[in-house]
Amino acid sequence: MAGVYVHFPFCATRCIYCDFYARVGKDWKPYIEALLTELSERKDFLKGVPPTTLYFGGGTPSLLPAGELARVADAVRTTFGVSDFEEFTLEVNPDDVTAERAAAWRSMGAGRVSVGVQSFCDTHLRWMHRRHTAAEAVTAVETLRRAGFDNLSLDLIFGFTELSDDDWAASIAAALALRPEHISCYQMMGRLADSDEDRCRRQYALLQERLSAAGYRQYEVSNYALPGYESRHNSAYWAREPYLGLGAGAHSFDGDRLRCWNTPDIDAYAASRPGGEERLSDREVLEEKLMLSLRTVRGLDLSSLTDPELGSVKKATLEELSRAGKLIVEGSRIRIPEGELFVSDWIISRLFPEHTA
């Protein structure tokens, strides 16, 4: 399968935790034209494989007029000769959701909406510089439901100093009360992160416990879904499937070794679309396979590796991690147990070729 990602790098305000490329108060009209030009020029990147997923991310795509979003979606369909997508996701902020916009998003073909809630505590939302309140987040979900959306994802953030365990439990409960089909939860990183690793791990474990009890299945380090509602687009990333990324700062992958990207600058992108590319070495391909596969609960089938790749994964390390309960070995498949996903990066790095303690 293949996917198309379109980046809309516009925001009304800048959230304190965000490290995605975005600009505040920028005119979007020249950008849309540049997007359509790039789409036309790069239509052969997927090598004739029609995309099955479309993802509009940002930034804040919901800031743009629905008619302009529809123009881009229709252009993608026309360019690749597809009438519809198995999954078409639109990222939105709660304060952008109105009955009129929700109806327009449905009309343009979006079937899945990812709502950037982040927290159900107004104090924390203000600290993050979010523009909505907890009540507005609830209203947004209700509005989307009335518009006919039956596949909603909510984003939450944990692991920052201001977040107590009780606060986190309350946000989880508020999210579950809305019964979204999907929930993504990310740990705060960088200078704003909680330095208390024990508390962060405790909050991660609480999340796993509460969501599992409510019928959600964890399928990746940060993602949970009701059965059948796993994100197809994001799952393709972890399976190293090809995808075309359009827009300033967007990345693309050919499904093999080529990774390329556009400049994270709206003006330069609109003027000439500079960027870069790299071809992965054998070692980098193996490390990607390990890193991406083992982020998922399903793990990695070692039989899918080439002979040289398999030879680079040290059996002694596999046995050591298995004995320590950090890795489960089931025939040819290896996976990280749910209880150890919090330290998945450390476990995965141990499997890299030429690892040194």
280-299: pLDDT as tens digits: 999 999 999 999 999 999 99
User: Looking at the structure, do residues 121 and 232 belong to the same domain, yes or no?
Assistant: yes
Confidence band for 353, pLDDT divided at 50, 70 and 90: confident
Say if 196 falls within a structural domain: yes
Q: Is 247 left (phi over 0), alpha (psi -120 to 50) or beta?
A: left
Q: pLDDT of 63-87, one tens digit each?
A: 999 999 999 999 999 999 999 999 9
User: Looking at the structure, do residues 137 and 42 belong to the same domain, yes or no?
Assistant: yes
Say if 247 falls within a structural domain: no
Percent of the chain's residues with pLDDT above 90: 87
Say if 264 falls within a structural domain: no
User: Looking at the structure, do residues 316 and 231 belong to the same domain, yes or no?
Assistant: no
* Torsional sign, CA 97, 100, 104, 107: positive
Q: How many domains does the chain have?
A: 2
**Residue where the block lists tokens 């398999």:** 310
Q: pLDDT of 247-268, one tens digit each?
A: 999 999 999 999 999 999 999 9
User: Looking at the structure, do residues 230 and 308 belong to the same domain, yes or no?
Assistant: no
d(CA 289, CA 280): 12
Say if 62 falls within a structural domain: yes
User: Looking at the structure, do residues 165 and 303 belong to the same domain, yes or no?
Assistant: no
CA torsion, ordered 20, 23, 29, 31, to nearest 10 deg? -40
Say if 274 falls within a structural domain: no
User: Looking at the structure, do residues 232 and 286 belong to the same domain, yes or no?
Assistant: no
User: Looking at the structure, do residues 181 and 325 belong to the same domain, yes or no?
Assistant: no
User: Looking at the structure, do residues 88 and 156 belong to the same domain, yes or no?
Assistant: yes
CATH code at position 171: 3.80.30.20
User: Looking at the structure, do residues 56 and 187 belong to the same domain, yes or no?
Assistant: yes
C-alpha R_g of the chain: 21
Say if 246 falls within a structural domain: no
Q: pLDDT of 129-147, one tens digit each?
A: 889 999 999 999 999 999 9
Say if 178 falls within a structural domain: yes
Say if 103 falls within a structural domain: yes
pLDDT at 192 over 90: no
Say which DSSP state 64 is in. Answer: S
User: Looking at the structure, do residues 43 and 130 belong to the same domain, yes or no?
Assistant: yes
User: Looking at the structure, do residues 232 and 291 belong to the same domain, yes or no?
Assistant: no
**Distances 156 to 60, 160, 240, 292, 324 between C-alpha atoms, Å:** 16, 12, 26, 22, 31
CATH code at position 308: 1.10.10
User: Looking at the structure, do residues 132 and 193 belong to the same domain, yes or no?
Assistant: yes
Which residues form the domain of 288?
282-357
